[in-house]
Amino acid sequence: MQFAVILIAHWIGDYVLQSSKMALNKGVSIKWLGIHVATYSLILGIFAFFIFAINEAILFVVINGLLHLITDFFTSKLALKYQDNARLFYPVLGFDQLVHGLCLYLTYLNIDNLI
């Protein structure tokens, strides 16, 4: 059940609170990518503090914030490149979410070993 809460946090941070400006500009502007990742990390952090001990929550958020930044740095550029080609655009978005989900899951499973 805890991991389901993390996925809800991910959805809120990565979709619900991502403005159109963030979505449209994070592929071309490190500023907007940073704003998106900061928003995402803040939401993930709020949820993580209810699931983990404080040191684990901080590490979980830092690791996943960095992984989110790296992933979106590449996938947002690809999505922008293929925005007019639905056949390629949606698989890029799906791959982006697959990578985010795997990162969240692997850090969730191994947070005790990372401390």
Domain locations in the chain? 2-114
Residue 72: HSE in the Cβ half-sphere, 13 Å Cα cutoff: 29
Residues 40-65 as b/e (b if ≥16 CB within 10 A, e otherwise) read: bbebbbebbeebbeeebbebbbebbb
What are the tens digits of pLDDT across the range 41-87? 999 999 999 999 999 999 999 999 999 999 999 999 999 999 999 99
What are the tens digits of pLDDT across the range 52-62? 999 999 999 99
Residues 87, 2: Cα–Cα separation, whole Å:
34
Residues 90, 106: Cα–Cα separation, whole Å:
24
Is the pTM above the cut of 0.85?
Answer: yes
Q: What is the mean pLDDT of residues 90-107?
A: 97
Quote the pLDDT of residue 98.
Answer: 98
Residues 39, 41: Cα–Cα separation, whole Å:
5
Quote the pLDDT of residue 35.
Answer: 98
